[in-house]
Amino acid sequence: MSEVVVWGVGELGSVFARGLLRTGHAVIPVLRDTDVEALAVRGPAPELVLVAVGEAALPGVLARMPAAWRSRVALLQNELRPRDWESHGLDAPTLAIVWFEKKRGGDARVLLPTEIAGTGAPRLVAALTALGLAAVHVSHAQALAALAAKNLYILTTNLAGLRVGGDVGTLVTAHRALADALRDDLLTLEAALFAPHSVDRAAARAVFERACAADPRHGCAGRSAPDRLARTLAHADALGLALPAVRALAPPAP
């Protein structure tokens, strides 16, 4: 039986773990207090190491990644860009662009098929399919495009929600000017953060529209929205980007 490490067993990690178990894999969880170096030494090399921690915790996890596992990493975070893994010396991790939402105590809700690229894609696609969650195996280039589009959707809706609340259906109808202004700013940010990889702006806009139409009652601003705004502003400052619509959402200085 092949083994898969799932590093972070929250809502998303638990969904993937359940699918992996259903498709015949042994799942090894990594929790906050797990000694990963000892685990990597005493156990055989896993087929895949799925990093399912939140985006804020990702840099610390990648810095701690045992050498024996580094070629087997799979990532699924929001706000993920090539610089996030390239800065840790990872060349081609498996990438899962997750388009379902899983809240505690509820079932997963699918907006669009989850897109997965890399050596671990067949296992993860099979795991989600076994749970009735739409997933497709895509190329690395398609995965990069999907990452940019997912970031655009998450950031636009979350940041707009800080101003107007509500759901994405209301956002793109009653508050279309705000949505468009934020979306344009955030496409500029994604293009800068993805460089030297290119971002297809028209394709990202099209995915944004499809995702909004898929679940118009999806709430805009979740608990993570203020942190997303802070990270976005920090990126804009570091890159020297104006992003006027985004900066207009910043809380007043004390």
Cis amide bond preceding 196, omega within 30: yes
Q: Is the dihedral of CA 125, 16, 71, 141 positive or negative?
A: positive
> Tokens for 178?
């705000």
Domain shared by 96 and 120, yes or no = yes
Do residues 184 and 114 both lie within one domain? no
* Predicted structure pTM score: 0.94
Arithmetic mean of pLDDT, 103-107: 74
- Is residue 159 located within the same domain as residue 70? no
- Three-state DSSP at 131 gives coil
pLDDT in tens, 174-190: 999 999 999 999 999 99
Q: Is residue 227 part of a domain?
A: yes
pLDDT of residue 169: 97
Q: Which long-range contacts (CB under 8 A, 24 or more apart) does 28-32 make?
A: 28/3, 28/4, 29/5, 30/5, 30/6
Who's near 44: CB < 8 A, 6+ residues apart?
A: 3
DSSP string, 17-33: HHHHHHTTPEEEEE-TT
CATH number of residue 24's parent domain: 3.40.50.720
89: in domain: yes
In a domain, 32, yes or no: yes
Q: How many residues does the chain have?
A: 254
Q: Is the pLDDT of residue 249 over 80?
A: yes
Encoding tokens for residue 233?
Answer: 């502003």
pLDDT at 26: 95
Q: Which residue has the higher pLDDT, 9 or 251?
A: 9
% the chain with pLDDT above 90: 87
Q: 153 in a domain, yes or no?
A: yes
Same-domain status, 145 and 229: yes
Query: String of b and e for 223-249 (b: at least 16 CB within 10 Å)?
Result: ebbeebbeebbebbeeeebebebbeeb
Mean pLDDT of 2-12: 94
Say if residue 124 is in the same domain as residue 57. yes
- The total number of structural domains in the chain stands at 2
Per-residue pLDDT at 151 exceeds 90: yes
Query: Residue 24 in 3-state DSSP?
Result: coil
Per-residue burial over 60-74, b if 16 or more Cβ lie within 10 Å, else e, is ebbeebeeebeebbb
pLDDT, mean of residues 42-58? 91
For residue 192, what are the domain limits? 141-247
Residues 147 and 108 placed together within one structural domain of the fold: no
Residues 101 and 202 in one domain: no
Residues 126 and 11 in one domain: yes
Q: Is residue 254 part of a domain?
A: no
| Whole-number Å distance between alpha carbons of 82 and 140 | 11
Give yes or no for residue 103 having a pLDDT over 80. no
